[in-house]
Amino acid sequence: MLEYAFMQKALAGGMIIALACSVISFFVVVKRLAFMGMGVSHAAFGGVAIGLAAGVDPLWSAGGFCTLVALGIGWLSRRGRMHEDTTIGILFTTAMALGVIVVGLARRYNLDLMSYLFGSVLAMSWADVIAAAVLAFIALAFVVLFFKELLFVSFDEETAIASGLPVRLVYYGLLATMALTIVISIKLVGIILVSALLVIPGATGLQLSRNYRGVLLVSVLSGLSSMALGLYLSYRADIPSGATVVMVMFGLFLLAMVLSPRRSWMRRFVRSQRQGWIANH
């Protein structure tokens, strides 16, 4: 399949996207930002619609828009005496409504917009791959450089504030990083499904390890392998790429759940099998 240029681009872009998403996914899961990820990715609809209507590359319009929405959610939840999920519910629906109005004003059925909703392997250009690489590099650099602060803030924000860490900077940085990661993923995976990439790998990691190093490793490995396998299956069976990647990811998550040392029923099952084996031999 790699003789086709579009698959080369999809695979190169896909790997970059999967790496960035799996790393951010760790924080999405431990800091409970799953709904935030969903909200910001759906808000991208507004950004994409504005970009298409204004003739700007939707990657950039959605990038700016999602970052603003993510920071807006963070700011309002800290200022406005509202819970984070309320703010997310308000801002992401409003952003989508704005997108619908912009599409309506453009007065034509936009096929392009549909491909942004569900993603397409055909959508990635080399320019997109390069843009994804640059933005993913920025996102990963932020995570590496501020890892200990991010970990502390995710674990126990109150003490992190008291010990003088730049908690606000770290929190807004994480939100902006998440927004960038979402934006580079929507062409391939689509607005509707991108939040799966931000939740499932981290959740898979948490099933198999009790330490963040292991969780991160499993998250990245499962993210990369589901992306590769998902793209391959979508090519072979001619089915939508984003959805296939998500299905593979979910399959790996189920597998991790069954194998998880956290689940005592599995341990009991293994033990009883072993004891049965010993008794029989």
Partner 1 sequence: MAGRCRVSEFFSGGAGTPRAVIELRDVWVELDGRLVLEGITFSVDEGTFLGVIGPNGAGKTTLMKVILGLVRPARGEVRVLGLQPGELRHELHHIGYMPQQVLFDPIFPVSVYDVVMMGRACCIGPLRFPTRKDREAVRESIRAVGLEGLERRPIGELSGGQQKRAFLARSLCLETRILLLDEPTAGLDAEAQESFLALLNRLKRERGLTVIFVSHDVSVLARFADSLVCINRTMHLHGSPQEVLGSERLEEAYRCEFDFLLGEGAPRRGW
Member of 64, 166, 240, 251 binding partner 1 (CB under 8 A): 166
Q: Which stretch binds partner 1 (CB under 8 A): 54-62, 118-126, 208-216, 248-256?
A: 208-216
**Can you say whether residue 209 is alpha, beta or left, with left for phi > 0 and alpha for psi between -120 and 50 degrees?**
beta
Dump the DSSP string for 94-141. HHHHHHHHHHHHHTS--HHHHHHHH--GGG--HHHHHHHHHHHHHHHH
Q: Please report whether residue 160 would count as binding partner 1 according to CB under 8 A.
A: yes
**Structure tokens given for 107:** 């007065």
Taking CB under 8 A as the binding criterion, the range among 34-42, 49-57, 157-165, 176-184 that sits at the site for partner 1 is 157-165
Q: Is 5 in the site for partner 1 (CB under 8 A)?
A: no
The single residue among 215, 245, 246, 248 that binds partner 1, judged by CB under 8 A, is: 215
* Sign, Cα dihedral of 231, 222, 25, 216: negative
- Cβ distance to partner 1 smaller for residue 236 or 263: 263
- Nearest C-alpha neighbor of 199 from the set 84, 32, 85: 32
Using the structure block, give the residue that is written with the tokens 């001619």. 238
Q: What minimum distance in Å lies between the beta carbon of 146 and partner 1? A: 7
Which of 16, 18, 149, 187 contacts partner 1 by CB under 8 A?
149
User: Interface with partner 1 includes 219 (CB under 8 A)?
Assistant: no
What is the total count of residues that contact partner 1 (CB under 8 A)? 28
Question: DSSP letter at 82?
Answer: -
| Number of residues assigned to the chain | 281
Q: Which is nearer to partner 1, 152 or 232 (CB)?
A: 152
**Contact by Cβ (8 Å): 222, 252:** yes
Q: Among residues 159 and 273, whose Cβ is nearest to partner 1?
A: 159
Q: Does 79 bind partner 1 (CB under 8 A)?
A: no
Q: Tell me which residue of 120, 128, 132, 136 sits closest to 243, measured CA to CA.
A: 120
Binding mask 252-271 for partner 1 (x = CB under 8 A): ----------x---------
Name the residues that contact partner 1, by CB under 8 A.
Answer: 30, 32, 145-146, 148-149, 151-152, 154-156, 158-166, 206, 209-212, 214-215, 262
